[in-house]
Amino acid sequence: MEKIFDQLIDSFIENKVGIAENFLSTDLSKHLINNLKSLFNDKMMLSAGTGNDTVVVHDKMYRSDKIYWLDREHNNIHENSFFNLMDTFISHLNRTCYTGITGYEFHYTLYEKGAFYKKHVDQFRNNEVRQYSMIMYLNEDWIEEDGGELCIHHLNHLQNISPVSGKSVFFKSSELEHEVLMTNKSRMSITGWLKIN
């Protein structure tokens, strides 16, 4: 696993956007996507909001994804495997890069056909707790016509990343502007932030 962690970290250092293709095993991706689908069927996935810590605005012109927060207290074996993986990644990151991460938060994310998330930065304006953004995609068989790329706005160019199963993306929450382009079919992922307090 350390090799994949280093791939994510090294590409982050080189390009400001870390990408690792097999961060989640096929098995774990499958279980997590099944969790997400059953949460959706049980109407547990709710419209995501935007704003700072205290004011959350639900503006469907700005983002139209649905989310559900992961929690060890759900006692879901696959969710806990995911958290174990993140714990290992964070100790590796802290050990090799002195990042001092002390916590995290992750949600399941569903963009239904036609959904998007307009250009934004992840760190809240009045709160610097979120240090790194991390997204794990869960979609098998993604083709260009499906749209839904993560589009990173670098200073002089755009970088489009397709949301393919197992792939993880990692970048600084305070810096990079990015958006999720409109998706032409259901787009599923786990999105989260590594935090300091």
Ligand X SMILES: O=C(O)CCC(=O)C(=O)O
Place of tokens 């100790």: 91
Instruction: Please pick, from the candidates 33, 135, 136, 194, the single residue that binds ligand X as defined by CB under 6 A.
Output: 135
Q: Which residues of this chain interact with Fe ion, rule CB under 5 A?
A: 122
CB of 191 to ligand X, least distance (A): 4
* 122 forms part of the interface with ligand X (CB under 6 A): yes
Binding to ligand X by CB under 6 A, coded x per residue (else -) over 59-98, reads ----------------------------------------
Contact 190, 82 (CB under 8 A): yes
Q: Closest Cα partner for 196 from 117, 103, 90, 112? A: 103
Cα–Cα distance, 18 to 29 (Å, whole number): 19
CA 115 vs CA 110, 118, 122, 149, 177: distances in Å: 9, 10, 18, 11, 18
* 117 forms part of the interface with ligand X (CB under 6 A): yes
Binding to ligand X by CB under 6 A, coded x per residue (else -) over 159-188, reads ----x--------------x-x--------
Contact 86, 104 (CB under 8 A): yes
Q: In the complex with ligand X, which residue's Cβ is closer, 2 or 53?
A: 53
How big is the CA angle at 172 (ends 106 and 32), to the nearest 5 degrees?
25
Q: In the complex with Fe ion, which residue's Cβ is closer, 62 or 92?
A: 62
Half-sphere exposure of 91 (CA within 13 A, CB side): 7
CB of 75 to ligand X, least distance (A): 26
Which partner from the list Fe ion, ligand X, none does 93 bind, CB cut-off 5 to 8 Å by kind? Answer: none
β-partners of residue 38 are none
Q: In the complex with Fe ion, which residue's Cβ is closer, 74 or 119?
A: 119
Interface residues with ligand X (CB under 6 A) are: 109, 117, 122, 135, 150, 163, 178, 180, 189, 191
